[in-house]
Amino acid sequence: MSKFVKQLLQRELEAQFKDVENFLVIGIDGIGGNQNNQMRADLSEKGITIKVVRNSLMRKVLNSADKEQATELFKSGQCTVAYGGDSIVDVAKEMVDLKKKLKVLDLKGAFVEGSVVGAEGVSDLAKMPNRAELQAQIVQISQTPASNVAGAVESPASNIAGCLKTLIEQKEEQAA
């Protein structure tokens, strides 16, 4: 490939990955054409993009974007970058699920918030709650104390009402 073509490809990659802060690196060697097309279509529906990249070009792109730490993910073998979705957790969950279906899929690692994690880290990411799940947990936690307070305020009032009713009944029985 000529130097001019490499420079064009590098500029294109720089434009595509300029705003990408988190991504997974996977290997898709051995995946058939039909499986590849189906995988890309399924991921695209979920807002996840995958792109096969040349390791040397991607290292240059990462160096120019001040993401030098991530270059270690692009040392050997064919690499594919997966990014997008609602969060990196969603991407990790999808890739781990795909790995169960497509045994040849290789999880190489991830670049998350300026740090590099290995394949085990990708599996750990997939176990984390995603953004929507975290928001639901926060709402649930914030509502729990309010319901406890309401129950505590309501409980003594019902106890007092019960005691008053019992006293009234006792007085009525004594009067009768």
Q: Which amino acid, 88?
A: I
Grade residue 150 by pLDDT with cuts at 50, 70 and 90: low
- The percent of residues in the chain predicted with pLDDT above 90, rounded, is 40
CB burial string 4-39: b at 16+ within 10 A, e below? eeeeebbeebeeebeeeebbbbbbbeebeeebeeeb
The predicted-structure confidence for 8-52, as pLDDT tens digits, reads as follows: 888 998 888 888 899 999 998 888 899 999 999 999 999 999 999
pLDDT at residue 161, rounded to an integer: 66
At the second CATH level, the architecture of 3-128 is: 2-Layer Sandwich (3.30)
Tokens 């995603």 correspond to what residue? 130
pLDDT at residue 173, rounded to an integer: 81
pLDDT at residue 42, rounded to an integer: 92
d(Cα 93, Cα 102) in Å, to the nearest integer?
14
Confidence check: pLDDT of 172 > 60: yes
Pairing mode, if any, of strands 79-84 and 23-27?
Answer: antiparallel
What is the pTM assigned to this prediction?
A: 0.72
For the chain, what is the mean pLDDT?
A: 85
d(Cα 123, Cα 144) in Å, to the nearest integer?
31
Q: Which amino acid, 145?
A: P
d(Cα 161, Cα 124) in Å, to the nearest integer?
53
pLDDT at residue 153, rounded to an integer: 56
